[in-house]
């Protein structure tokens, strides 16, 4: 038995869901201020609504038109458990709820009392619990605002790792999971909940075993698996060795599409993974896909384009943390509530090497230069700076441009960018062009509810046909790949997107592909998996 214990692999279909108070963790639940406001205006509201009328929720989640709405994916029998979670949240997160209240009070004071005079005396009116954590300022139009000293908040009681946990399970039937923004992860027979903070190295030890065999008893003890769950935990392991990853060793560059906006770029000397959102292997599926087993043993760089939950998937990143050398993130606005600092967040959850990149700033690698470019729109007109497009210039002359969800609302900006970087060979263009309204993601951070018509006009949208063609006219690519559409079945639990042939994103991207092909440009809307090599 001892010999076998040292030869166990973690099965490729074991998944980890990182949780905050049993809610699926995303970046706005890590940063203290945004966490406080999401707990108050999202979690408690949804739980309260479900407790009062669970029938409405159970009916809504069966309606495809309601997908992604504030409806909990549980039947009536879970009301008692949600009631306990609601009460626990009020008790355990009392300090965060007080932080939420103080932030809203501060905003109201500033709006009501500031008339353009010096702000020096206004610090006396800052709510007591916020004193020391904010700076007041005017913009050049004499509009008053505040910035959060986010590093100080991370060192305060408002950042509490005790709310963090992980849930482990096997996925072996299909890709369906409840939508992450509306359904907490209650205990289930087929799920193992462990009170482990995200920074814990035991997470790395566990997921190393997907490629390197380890000792079953050791990892069971490190994780402190409850006795009643051990029989299920044993099913997570196998003695069968997974297939070997075949690194690219050609003279050019290989790109592999993993779904949504996730692309692996490889040369003989380096590997770069953009927006890691990766599916699982080891179960039957109708859609061909690359999985975590199709990634290198060591990933030189991970690039993050922007701070949305379908581009920063902590579930994927925590599994890959032991393989990642460096994460590159866009620099934030340093203090705006709606724009939490990504470098701070990643450092706090155990990623040690994190580099911030600014617009038109480059990183030189052995055979590639990566430059951050302006990323327009998509954030519902909010002042969000933590977003970048990425330009790859390979030293063999191949040039790739990833624009993700950038919405080309002002082509003149990209015309000026083109004067600096020149044309590109390959364009990866996001065309999820309808997008959710502002309130869907940023509603909990708003101090006043927007009128519905204004809310619907400010969307989290990528490029439509006109904006996409403007990209193509400017950069003159030889190949165009439409991606970041949220089409893959394993993405529905984070994107809530299901298209029909009449969906705007499909109609607009079809039109763009037809126009590209008529111009002699290779064009395709990516889905599932795709490998492209350039020499």
Per-residue pLDDT of the chain (535 residues; tens, 9 = 90+): 444 467 899 999 999 999 999 999 999 999 999 999 999 999 999 999 999 999 999 999 989 888 899 999 998 889 999 999 999 999 999 999 999 999 999 999 999 998 899 999 999 999 999 999 999 999 999 999 999 999 999 999 999 999 999 999 999 877 889 999 999 999 999 999 999 999 999 999 999 999 999 999 999 999 999 999 999 999 999 999 999 999 999 989 999 999 999 999 999 999 999 999 999 987 777 889 999 999 999 999 999 999 999 999 999 999 999 999 999 999 998 999 999 999 999 999 999 999 999 999 999 988 899 999 999 999 999 999 999 999 999 988 999 999 999 999 999 999 999 999 999 999 999 999 989 999 999 999 999 999 999 999 999 999 999 999 999 999 999 999 999 999 999 999 999 888 999 999 999 999 999 999 999 999 999 999 999 999 8
| Vertex 453 angle, CA 448 and 454, to 5° | 50
Closest C-alpha to 70, from 88, 43, 52? 43
The CA-atom distances, in angstroms, between 433 and each of 123, 246, 274, 504 are 43, 36, 20, 7
| Vertex 156 angle, CA 123 and 153, to 5° | 60
Q: What is the CA radius of gyration of the chain?
A: 23
Instruction: Return d(Cα 45, Cα 71) in angstroms, integer.
Output: 10
The CA-atom distances, in angstroms, between 311 and each of 251, 460, 486 are 30, 13, 10
How far apart are the two ends of the chain, measured CA to CA in Å?
Answer: 50
Sign of the alpha-carbon torsion through 344, 280, 310, 439: negative
> Around 475, how many Cα atoms within 13 Å sit in the side-chain half-sphere?
30
Place of tokens 């079953």: 216
CA 215, 216, 221, 226: dihedral to nearest 10 degrees? 170
> Tokens for 42?
């999202």
DSSP letter, residue 291: B
Backbone angles phi, psi at 201, to 5 degrees: -70, -15
Cβ-count burial 441-452 (b if 16+ within 10 Å, e if not):
bbbbbbeeebee
The CA-atom distances, in angstroms, between 335 and each of 130, 133, 150, 381, 482 are 14, 10, 6, 17, 34
């Amino acid at each position: 038995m001892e010999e076998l214990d040292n030869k166990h692999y973690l099965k490729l279909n074991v998944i980890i869901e990182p949780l905050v108070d049993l809610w699926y963790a995303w970046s706005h639940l890590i940063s203290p201020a945004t966490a406080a406001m999401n707990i108050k205006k999202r979690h408690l509201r949804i739980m309260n609504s479900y407790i009062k009328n669970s029938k409405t929720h159970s009916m809504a989640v069966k309606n495809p038109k309601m997908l992604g709405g504030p409806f909990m994916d549980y039947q009536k029998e879970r009301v008692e458990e949600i009631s306990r979670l609601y009460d626990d949240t009020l008790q355990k997160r009392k300090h965060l709820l007080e932080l939420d209240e103080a932030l809203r009070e501060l905003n109201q004071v500033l709006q009501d009392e500031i008339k353009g005079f010096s702000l020096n005396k206004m610090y006396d009116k800052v709510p007591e619990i916020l004193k020391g954590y904010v700076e007041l300022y005017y913009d050049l139009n004499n509009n008053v605002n505040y910035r959060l000293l986010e590093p100080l908040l991370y060192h305060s009681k408002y950042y509490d790792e005790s709310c963090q946990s992980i849930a482990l399970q096997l996925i072996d039937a299909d890709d369906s999971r409840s939508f992450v923004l509306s359904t907490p992860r209650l205990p289930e027979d087929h799920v193992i909940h462990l009170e482990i903070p995200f920074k814990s190295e035991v997470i790395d030890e566990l997921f190393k075993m997907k490629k390197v065999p380890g000792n079953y008893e050791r990892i069971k003890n490190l994780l402190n698996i409850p006795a009643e769950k051990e029989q299920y935990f044993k099913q997570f392991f196998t003695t069968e060795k997974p297939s070997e990853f075949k690194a690219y060793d050609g003279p050019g560059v290989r790109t592999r599409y993993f779904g949504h906006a996730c692309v692996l770029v490889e040369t003989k000397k380096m590997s770069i993974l953009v927006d890691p959102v990766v599916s699982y292997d080891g179960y039957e599926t109708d859609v061909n896909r690359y999985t975590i087993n199709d990634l290198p043993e060591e990933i030189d760089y991970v690039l993050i384009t922007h701070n949305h939950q379908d581009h920063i998937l902590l579930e994927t990143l925590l599994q890959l943390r032991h393989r990642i050398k460096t994460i590159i993130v866009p620099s934030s606005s340093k203090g705006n509530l709606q724009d939490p600092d990504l470098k701070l967040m990643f450092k706090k959850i155990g990623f040690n090497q994190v580099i911030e990149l600014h617009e038109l700033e480059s990183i030189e690698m052995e055979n590639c230069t990566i430059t951050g470019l302006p990323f327009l729109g998509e954030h519902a007109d909010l002042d969000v700076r933590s977003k970048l497009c990425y330009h790859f210039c390979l030293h063999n002359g191949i040039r790739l441009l990833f624009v993700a969800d950038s919405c080309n609302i002002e082509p003149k900006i990209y015309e000026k960018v083109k004067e600096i970087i020149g044309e590109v060979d390959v364009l990866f263009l996001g065309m999820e062009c309808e997008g959710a309204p502002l309130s869907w993601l940023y509603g909990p951070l708003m101090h006043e509810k927007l009128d519905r018509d204004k809310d619907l006009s400010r969307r989290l949208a990528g490029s439509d046909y006109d904006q996409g063609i403007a990209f193509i006219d400017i950069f003159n690519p030889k190949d165009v790949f439409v991606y970041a559409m949220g089409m893959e079945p394993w993405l529905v639990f984070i994107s809530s997107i299901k298209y029909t042939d009449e969906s705007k994103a499909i109609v607009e991207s079809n039109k763009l592909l037809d126009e590209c092909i008529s111009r002699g440009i290779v064009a395709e809307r990516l889905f599932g998996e795709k490998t492209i090599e350039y020499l």
